[in-house]
Amino acid sequence: MASLRCLLPSRARAKQAPAKSNGFRFLSTSPSLRNIPTRIFRDVAPLRAYRRELLLNKRTVGLVPTMGALHDGHASLVRHAAAENTDVLVTIYVNPTQFGQNEDLASYPKTWEADMQVLGKLDQELASAGQGRVTAVFAPSTKTMYPTLPPDSSIPGVGSFIEMRPLGQLLEGASRPVFFRGVATVCMKLFNICAPDRLYFGQKDIQQTRVIRRMIKDFHLDMDLRIIPTSREPDGLALSSRNVYLGARRRDVGIVLNQALRMAETQYLNGKRLRNDVLWPAFAHSNQVLADQEDMEPSKRAKFQVDYISLADPDTMEEIDQIDDTKGAILSGAVKMLPVEESQEGEELGRLDVENRQVPVRLIDNIVLDPMR
Ligand SMILES: Nc1ncnc2c1ncn2[C@@H]1O[C@H](COP(=O)(O)OP(=O)(O)OP(=O)(O)O)[C@@H](O)[C@H]1O
Ligand SMILES: CC(C)(CO)[C@@H](O)C(=O)[O-]
Ligand code: BAL
């Protein structure tokens, strides 16, 4: 593990707890605000011992599972967790089994030191507010998470997996066939290891929240799920760890998905209930934006592919023909922002992959249409 000492001001460093003790380390911040260091766990046994101690002391644990590259969306989950638990446990693990073999596992952003700084600052804020604290980070190795066989991302997949069918095969699951199998499997492992009282997941990944909700019900997990609203840029773009790969040109056009969903939402708010009546402006808008881009010079445009725009049942995520006023619905979509053509000298292209190529970026978003009665 990279040393955390370099993250600390020298005064804090002097008061830093021993670098390693019983399989965990400490993330130190300003000593005046902290009396409990955030412990960084790599292994299961010390984390379990720590969890047992919390239980004996009648403390409550809010779990925030992440893949790192932390942004304000993650911070919002942590703040919600701190508002109703004494201890917030953040997990940071880029789970290989949820990435298909042709997906962006290799280029997924890994920003460990920046993440520790984000959590340190956030914890100081929580300390000042007298709320629950980020008392532990669990950042396991892949050998720890997959102790028997190496993680397998192929569709037949050897190993031990959890699956929700057909829920996990729809929408995101149709485009990323191993995605929800990987998510459900790693989450089951994390839940078993961390034994949280409450879980904090972002609405941005709405189908993931439905998969977790189903897992809690079908496997009788003793924990409550909280779904936290999507944090957005001022223009509406949902924050996402992958946004760092967009660059300026694709960033500007990438708002198309949110705009399209908002147009469909307006139809619902104006009384439309039939699928086509709700969705047509969303398709018309995305087609128009794409046509406009295609008419532009290659050196100026940013092309994209719409994967889906969906109107679905709020629990099953199955497509619906008409919205039931007592249930509402979920509007969701995904677009793939393609690498820009003829990039210009000095153009801001976003982060490139290890081979200096632009990464295609999948953007997802959704709007929950609340029941009307
Ligand atoms: N903009 C956001 N607002 C609220 N929660 C979010 C937001 N973005 C991510 N989350 C939530 O944070 C948790 C961890 O997500 P993750 O680490 O995959 O980040 P991410 O930004 O979704 O990354 P990416 O979309 O690039 O995979 C998930 O519960 C996810 O829904
Ligand atoms: C829930 C999760 C941490 C599982 O790897 C991931 O899918 C994510 O970050 O949303
Ligand atoms: N936030 C979802 C994780 C993924 O796209 O792999």
Asked which of 205, 228, 251 is the last residue of a domain, the reply is: 228
Q: Is the CB of 172 under 6 A from ligand 3?
A: no
Task: Show pLDDT as tens, one digit a residue, over the chain (373 residues).
Answer: 332 323 333 333 332 333 344 456 666 545 444 556 799 999 999 999 999 999 999 999 999 999 999 999 999 999 999 999 999 999 999 999 999 998 989 999 999 999 999 999 999 999 999 889 999 999 999 999 999 999 999 999 999 999 999 999 999 999 999 999 999 999 999 999 999 999 999 999 999 999 999 999 999 999 999 999 999 999 999 999 999 999 999 999 999 999 999 999 999 999 999 999 999 999 999 999 999 999 999 999 999 999 999 999 999 999 999 999 999 999 999 999 999 999 999 999 999 988 899 999 999 999 999 999 8
Residue 122 forms part of a structural domain: yes
Q: How far is it, in rounded angstroms, from Cα 262 to Cα 268?
A: 10
Residue 97 forms part of a structural domain: yes
Q: How far is CA 192 from the centre of its chain?
A: 20
In this structure, the answer to whether residues 287 and 175 fall within a common structural domain is no
Q: What distance, in Å, lies between the first and last C-alpha atoms of the chain?
A: 53
In this structure, the answer to whether residues 187 and 281 fall within a common structural domain is no
Atom nearest to 212 CA in ligand 2: 1
Counting the structural domains of the chain, the total is 2
285 as an active site residue: the answer is no
In this structure, the answer to whether residues 80 and 135 fall within a common structural domain is yes
Atom nearest to 362 CA in ligand 3: 5
Q: How far is it, in rounded angstroms, from Cα 226 to Cα 9?
A: 35
In this structure, the answer to whether residues 256 and 223 fall within a common structural domain is no
Q: Which domain holds residue 76?
A: 39-228
Q: What is the ipTM of this complex?
A: 0.98
Residue 298 forms part of a structural domain: yes
In this structure, the answer to whether residues 224 and 249 fall within a common structural domain is no
Atom nearest to 95 CA in ligand 3: 6
Asked which of 199, 228, 257 is the last residue of a domain, the reply is: 228
Query: pTM for the full model?
Result: 0.92
279 Cα to the center of ligand 2, angstroms? 29
In this structure, the answer to whether residues 259 and 141 fall within a common structural domain is no
233 Cα to the center of ligand 3, angstroms? 19
Q: Is the CB of 76 under 6 A from ligand 3?
A: no
In this structure, the answer to whether residues 252 and 309 fall within a common structural domain is yes
In this structure, the answer to whether residues 192 and 314 fall within a common structural domain is no
Residue 314 sits in a domain of what CATH number?
3.30.1300.10
In this structure, the answer to whether residues 258 and 191 fall within a common structural domain is no
In this structure, the answer to whether residues 135 and 252 fall within a common structural domain is no
Residue 233 forms part of a structural domain: no
